[in-house]
């Protein structure tokens, strides 16, 4: 069993109160509007959630990684779109800036980002480079006037509204992954174009875009490279496992609620063993995935090498969340197919969990490499 500290338990209760009062009730409306929810974003900043995992000296709260996963889980229980935009701001969009940014960049961009006053985005993926990062074709050139980036990025979460972008680019393509470095690009930089908003299957409450850079001025973020990305990827994977727990809980809640209300053949459908077993299996899978996610979170807190464990946590939890969403739709029957019920949103949003932070196939490759070598 995973032991949580009294502080973690109290934190979970307070995030749950916020989610029940201010996130879950607007989740359907956010989905319908299909716009970045600026007011809610600022509200989350005012609660200090964006700075949760950063040290107090840098403007954060200095919480451990398990507490950050608790935040991700509870937010995802209310809305995957809100949880995803929060993760982007609290982690991927600001992590390199925190670790490698200059004092001036911290003052102007990072600290305000923790308050929700500036917005960060993370640009790794390209039209021709997702799982295979060695194919990243965006290039970084050093000129007398500073670094210049040229290339295209794809799937930029919060891209439409971001004030700054952490961009992966190759300083030397002959070096492959070793030539990959990270740069800060600010909105308004010459040659930077935020392209079309990508129409997606799920996460409609957020905005994901293309981005192009044409000889765009950029600031190099220290010597940040592949190893630093690896460490962040472990955290992204465990956090995505936590998002999966939250979505699965919402799906199971929806299925249990509906099954007690819906009458068929003179009784609530919750009485039928076929459905009871489906929901019991969802619960069993959810609780065993929870062990994997928080075990991996503790390993990250202790600074342990945990690539396979982090991959496993994401793998089992994201696959579990997709099965839980499928179960919810089955239990709801025709209502599961109707847009007025939340089940369809959970089913659509769950697919994102199988992709972001590494697909299930890539995660199995990571685990197999640790088990079996190259
Ligand atoms: C909603 C959403 C938001 C996102 N936000 C961001 C963001 O903010 N920033 C960012 O940088 N990226 C973001 N991404 C991109 C995401 O990280 C990539 O989609 C993901 O890494 C997969 O890359 P790909 O889509 O190019 O798929 P591909 O890499 O082209 O994979 C296609 C298929 O091939 C399989 N495959 C590939 N290689 C192997 C292999 N070696 N062995 C077995 N199977 C393999 C994959 O598992 C998959 O099934 C986002 C994606 C989504 C859907």
DSSP string, 173-199: GGGGGGGEEEEEEETT-TTEEEEEEPP
* Cα–Cα distance measured from residue 117 to residue 92, given in angstroms and rounded to the nearest whole number: 17
CB 215 within 8 A of CB 185: no
Give the β-pairing of 192-197 and 164-170: unpaired
CA 132 to ligand 1 center in whole angstroms: 8
* Cα–Cα distance measured from residue 305 to residue 327, given in angstroms and rounded to the nearest whole number: 35
282 strand-pairing partners: none
pLDDT at 141: 98
Does ligand 1 come within 6 angstroms of the Cβ of 135? no
Alpha helices by DSSP H, the chain: 6-18, 27-33, 38-46, 65-78, 80-87, 95-100, 103-105, 111-114, 226-261, 273-301, 307-332, 343-353, 360-372
CB 343 within 8 A of CB 254: yes
CB 79 within 8 A of CB 27: yes
Sequence-ordered list of residues with C-beta below 8 angstroms from that of 215, at least 6 positions apart, any chain: 148, 149, 150, 190, 191
Q: Indicate the domain borders of the chain.
A: 6-114, 120-224, 227-372
Query: Under CATH, to which class is 120-224 assigned?
Result: mainly beta
Q: For each successive 10 residues of the chain (374 residues), what is the average pLDDT?
A: 93 98 98 96 98 98 98 98 98 98 98 98 98 97 98 97 98 94 98 96 96 98 96 97 98 98 98 98 98 98 97 98 98 98 98 97 98 94
* CA–CA distances in Å: residue 103 to residues 50, 61, 110, 162, 250: 19, 19, 9, 20, 41
Same fold, 6-114 and 120-224: no
Does ligand 1 come within 6 angstroms of the Cβ of 138? no
pLDDT at 170: 98
Indicate yes or no: pTM above 0.85.
Answer: yes
Nearest protein CA to atom 26 of ligand 1, as residue: 130
CA 352 to ligand 1 center in whole angstroms: 10
CB 343 within 8 A of CB 335: yes
pLDDT at 374: 87
CA 358 to ligand 1 center in whole angstroms: 6
Q: 């985005």: which residue's tokens?
A: 121
Please name the fold of domain 6-114.
Butyryl-Coa Dehydrogenase, subunit A; domain 1 (1.10.540)
111 strand-pairing partners: none
CATH code for residues 227-372: 1.20.140.10
Nearest protein CA to atom 1 of ligand 1, as residue: 352
């Amino acid at each position: 069993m995973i032991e949580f500290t009294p502080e973690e338990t109290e934190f979970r209760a307070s995030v749950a109160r916020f989610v029940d009062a201010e996130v879950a009730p607007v989740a359907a409306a956010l989905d319908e509007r299909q716009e970045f929810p600026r007011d809610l974003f600022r509200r989350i900043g005012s609660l200090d959630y964006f700075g949760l995992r950063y040290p107090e000296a840098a403007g954060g709260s200095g919480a451990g990684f398990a507490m950050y996963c608790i935040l991700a889980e509870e937010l995802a229980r209310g809305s995957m779109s809100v949880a995803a935009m929060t993760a982007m701001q609290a982690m991927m969009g600001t992590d390199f800036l925190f670790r490698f940014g200059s004092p001036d960049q911290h003052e102007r961009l990072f600290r305000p980002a923790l308050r929700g006053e500036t917005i960060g985005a993370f640009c790794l993926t390209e039209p021709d480079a997702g799982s295979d990062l060695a194919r990243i074709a965006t290039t970084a050139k050093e000129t007398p006037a500073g670094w210049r980036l040229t290339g295209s990025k794809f799937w930029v979460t919060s891209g439409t509204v971001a004030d700054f972008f952490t961009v992966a680019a190759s300083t030397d393509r002959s070096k492959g992954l070793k030539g990959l470095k990270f740069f800060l690009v600010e909105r308004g930089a010459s040659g930077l174009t935020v392209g079309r908003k990508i129409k997606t299957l799920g996460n409609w409450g957020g905005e994901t875009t293309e981005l192009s850079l044409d000889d765009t001025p950029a600031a190099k973020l220290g010597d940040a490279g592949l190893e630093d990305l690896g460490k962040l990827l472990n955290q992204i994977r465990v956090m995505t496992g936590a998002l999966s727990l939250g979505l699965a809980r919402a799906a199971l809640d929806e299925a249990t609620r509906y099954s007690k209300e819906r009458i068929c053949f003179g009784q609530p459908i919750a009485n039928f063993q076929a459905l009871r077993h489906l929901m019991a299996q969802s619960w069993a899978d959810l609780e065993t995935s929870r062990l994997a996610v928080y075990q991996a979170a503790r390993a990250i807190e202790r600074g342990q090498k945990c690539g396979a464990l982090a991959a496993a946590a994401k793998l089992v939890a994201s696959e579990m969340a997709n099965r839980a969403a499928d179960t919810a739709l089955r239990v709801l029957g025709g209502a599961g197919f109707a847009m007025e019920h939340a089940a369809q949103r959970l089913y659509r949003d769950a697919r994102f969990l199988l992709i972001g932070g590494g697909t299930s196939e890539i995660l199995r490759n990571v685990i197999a490499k640790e088990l079996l070598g190259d």
